[in-house]
Structure 1
Amino acid sequence: MSKLITAIKWFVYGLTFGILFAPRSGRETRAQIVQWLTGYVSDVLDASSQTIDRTARRTQEVVEQAQRATERAGEKAESMQSSASENISNASEQIRHSGPDTH
């Protein structure tokens, strides 16, 4: 943010000195200022558009990674649940077949 403020200050300083010491007429100077501002605004809009595009692409990548991670976690949870159910079933069968201990 401070770089932007510094840039604006220098722009105002340059504009002021340029107008005060310009060898051109007021009309020519104003036309030149408008031309410069138009180019500057165009550059800012282009940079903003590129930043928005990069951010949108990166956001989409993160969403896709999160979806894949969620799917993997769900698959792992199902696998663990199935394994746990199988282990419980096997343990239950062993208990039924072993009967009560009579020592």
Structure 2
Amino acid sequence: MTIADPGRTGRKTAAAPSPIAHKIADLVRAGPFGHTKLYSLIREGVLPAYQVGGSSIVLDEDWQALFRHAPPLVSKRAVRTRPVRHADEEAA
């Protein structure tokens, strides 16, 4: 894959390849989780990780799968189990 180099007209440069693995510290810097949450997800088996030397490594495909398979957030306001009564309705 090539992209146009905005600094030089007509020249193309190779796009930087995406990493195949991440260190925990890199994932924390990128967000949205801190060390404690990441290690909790690893301990629970939700996020696979590997020990390479002294570093814990998470494969990029596992990191992306964590978000792809996460259940969608449903707002509590959107789900109502009973009708809302307004103050003027209670007086009547």
TM-score per shorter chain, which class?
Answer: 0.3 to 0.5
* Rg comparison, structure with higher value: 1
TM-score normalised per structure 1: 0.31
Q: TM-score, normalization: structure 2?
A: 0.34
The structure with the largest strand share of the pair is 2
Hey, which of these two has a bigger chunk of helix by percent? Answer: 1
Whose relative contact order is higher, 1 or 2, with alpha carbons under 8 Å and at least 6 apart?
2
